[in-house]
Amino acid sequence: MKTERSQALFEQAQEWIPGGVNSPVRAFRAVQGTPRFIAHGEGAYLQDVDGNRYLDCVGSWGPLLFGHNPPAIRQALMAQLEHGTTFGAPTELEVQLARAICRAVPSCEQVRLVSSGTEAAMSAVRLARGYTGRAKVVKFEGCYHGHADCLLARAGSGVATFGLPDSAGVPPNLTADTLTLRYNDPQSLQRLFSQMGEEIACVIVEPVAGNMGCVPPLPGFLEQMRSLTQKYGAVLIFDEVMTGFRLALGGAQELYGVTPDLTILGKVIGGGLPLAAYGGRRDIMAYVAPLGPVYQAGTLSGNPMAVAAGLAALRLIEEDPSIYARLKARGEQAARGLREAVLDTGVPATVQQIGSMLTLFFTDRPVTDYASAKSCDTNRFARWFHGMLARGVYWAPSQFESVFLSSAMTDADIYLLVQAARASLKELES
Ligand code: KE4
């Protein structure tokens, strides 16, 4: 596979951009090798600058529910372009998008549009702290909510005492009130709430974890979280940046029937442009400036181009109510084929899938939390990843990520995916 142009561009990029990328996972450090510089996306496929073509299983990390460059979104952007790209003033379009989001996600009585999932998560946590007057934030190991200081925390020595920074540049005092528990461990959540429930402003969780690989909640985990937060007056925040409008129109909260107080959304609702949102109960959203005392602002919040793309995306979903059943069927089809390939080749691996999200974990046991995810053979994953790339399948370049199937994928595409996976697994044993 020719990669000269990607290699040359990566050399140049490292001169001008830290690590040569604008987001760390893109640098292929977890799998080594040269990141592919992409020239074009169309439907289910990417083409890199050397002319190599790949079935795209990353889908820009989730936004591309319909694959690349769907005509309806392209037309919406062209139409908006005639009127201008940004005004820094309210527009009719953003009212339409806010209403469409609230209608799709009933727990959102109001939403505030922002430009990234990080911004949405940071704002939702600040809002929960402002609304409750409390400081403590509970999150879970292996869940990622963007890179706001207070959320870049890992479990401290005594979890129930303080959180430690998980990044340089985050002073310990900024994570001291962030407590990190094990995902899918209701007992530790129960213990923490009985120790300090009245001090907890919020619990923030990925209702289906995607940032340690695809790890669904075990039965009762979300329900128990809901009853504890209710009982102690803490705000329950579902981070649905990845799962929102991906797993169902109403996201994971619709799928699992658990209603949070606040929801964070992103990715799909931007239709491929920078747009995210946080929203929820009206009495909590009433605390957001200019209505209330919790400040949050943004030059490009509700940007007309991003909103036009987001509206077109939600319209595509509205016009195609069977899309989630089809995406679920695609996910199950891919998972079935991958499990057969794992069995046939005898490589210790586990496939976890929900809807159109899935991960092939290089471990022979179920992955229910970060510790079990970290027990995977990441070297084997890296070799398998390059086997997939060489066979024309662009998989997520990290064991600890989900992949995202799109509605542009066909039976033939899933067949290609499974055959490439089988051959790449077999190669591991040679
Ligand atoms: P952004 O700030 O990247 O728009 O969103 C942060 C975020 C928040 N919450 C969840 C559940 C997320 O998955 C994300 C971002 N997801 C990663 C993928 N693991 C984006 C890819 C990247 O960081 O380059």
> Which CATH number characterizes residue 295's domain?
3.40.640.10
Query: Minimal CA–CA distance to 367: which of 139, 153, 205, 141?
Result: 141
Which residue has 């925390």 as its token pair?
Answer: 153
Atom nearest to 121 CA in ligand 1: 8
Residue 375 pLDDT:
97
Residue 161 pLDDT:
61
For residue 117, report the distance from its CA to the centre of ligand 1, in Å.
6
Mean pLDDT of all residues in 352-365: 98
For residue 243, report the distance from its CA to the centre of ligand 1, in Å.
11
CB proximity list for 333: less than 8 A, separation 6 or greater:
411, 414
Cα gap 94→308, rounded to integer Å: 8
User: Which residues constitute the domain of residue 111?
Assistant: 71-319
- Tell me, yes or no, whether 29 and 64 share the same domain: yes
Percent of the chain with pLDDT over 90: 97
- Has residue 428 got a pLDDT over 80? yes
Residue 82 pLDDT:
98
Atom nearest to 146 CA in ligand 1: 6
Closest residue to atom 23 of ligand 1, CA basis: 23
Q: Which residues line ligand 1 (CB under 6 A)?
A: 23, 25, 61, 116-118, 121, 144-146, 206, 210-211, 239, 241-242, 266, 276, 401
Taking residue 83's Cβ as centre, other Cβ atoms within 10 Å add up to: 12
Residue 154 pLDDT:
86
Residue 163 pLDDT:
81
| Choice among 111-120, 146-155, 299-308, 397-406 with the minimum mean pLDDT | 146-155
pTM value is 0.98
Cα gap 113→298, rounded to integer Å: 9
- Tell me, yes or no, whether 205 and 277 share the same domain: yes
Residue 429 pLDDT:
82
Mean pLDDT of all residues in 240-253: 98
Closest residue to atom 13 of ligand 1, CA basis: 242
Query: Minimal CA–CA distance to 240: which of 112, 120, 368?
Result: 120
For residue 231, report the distance from its CA to the centre of ligand 1, in Å.
30
- Tell me, yes or no, whether 121 and 198 share the same domain: yes
Catalytic residue numbers, as ranges? 144, 239, 267
Residue 302 pLDDT:
98
- Has residue 158 got a pLDDT over 70? no
- Tell me, yes or no, whether 408 and 307 share the same domain: no
- Tell me, yes or no, whether 178 and 256 share the same domain: yes
- Tell me, yes or no, whether 305 and 248 share the same domain: yes
- Tell me, yes or no, whether 155 and 18 share the same domain: no
- Has residue 46 got a pLDDT over 90? yes
Residue 242 pLDDT:
98
- Tell me, yes or no, whether 185 and 253 share the same domain: yes
- Has residue 397 got a pLDDT over 90? yes
- Has residue 192 got a pLDDT over 80? yes
- Has residue 159 got a pLDDT over 80? no
Mean pLDDT of all residues in 9-27: 97
| Structure token pair of residue 21 | 């990328």
Atom nearest to 116 CA in ligand 1: 4
Mean pLDDT of all residues in 392-421: 98
Mutate to test the pocket of ligand 1, among 26, 60, 61 (most ligand atoms within 8 A of CB): 61
- Tell me, yes or no, whether 355 and 367 share the same domain: yes
For residue 81, report the distance from its CA to the centre of ligand 1, in Å.
27
Domain boundary among 281, 298, 319: 319
Q: How far is CA 311 from its chain centroid?
A: 20
Residue 164 pLDDT:
83
Amino acid, res. 270: G
Task: Specify the number of domains making up the chain.
Answer: 2
- Tell me, yes or no, whether 82 and 226 share the same domain: yes
Closest residue to atom 15 of ligand 1, CA basis: 146
Mean pLDDT of all residues in 141-164: 84
Residue 160 pLDDT:
60
Cα gap 89→342, rounded to integer Å: 54
Residue 88 pLDDT:
97
Average pLDDT, the chain: 97
For residue 209, report the distance from its CA to the centre of ligand 1, in Å.
12
Mutate to test the pocket of ligand 1, among 22, 38, 118, 149 (most ligand atoms within 8 A of CB): 118
Atom nearest to 243 CA in ligand 1: 11
Closest residue to atom 22 of ligand 1, CA basis: 23
- Has residue 167 got a pLDDT over 70? yes
Domain boundary among 319, 354, 371: 319
Query: pLDDT band for position 430 (50/70/90)?
Result: confident
CB proximity list for 267: less than 8 A, separation 6 or greater:
60, 61, 62, 63, 117, 241, 242, 244, 245, 246, 276
- Tell me, yes or no, whether 63 and 136 share the same domain: no
Backbone torsions φ then ψ of 188, nearest 5 degrees? -65, -30
- Tell me, yes or no, whether 165 and 17 share the same domain: no
Query: pLDDT band for position 326 (50/70/90)?
Result: very high
Closest residue to atom 19 of ligand 1, CA basis: 211
Domain boundary among 269, 300, 319: 319
| Choice among 151-165, 196-210, 302-316, 317-331 with the minimum mean pLDDT | 151-165
Domain of 350: which CATH number? Answer: 3.90.1150.10
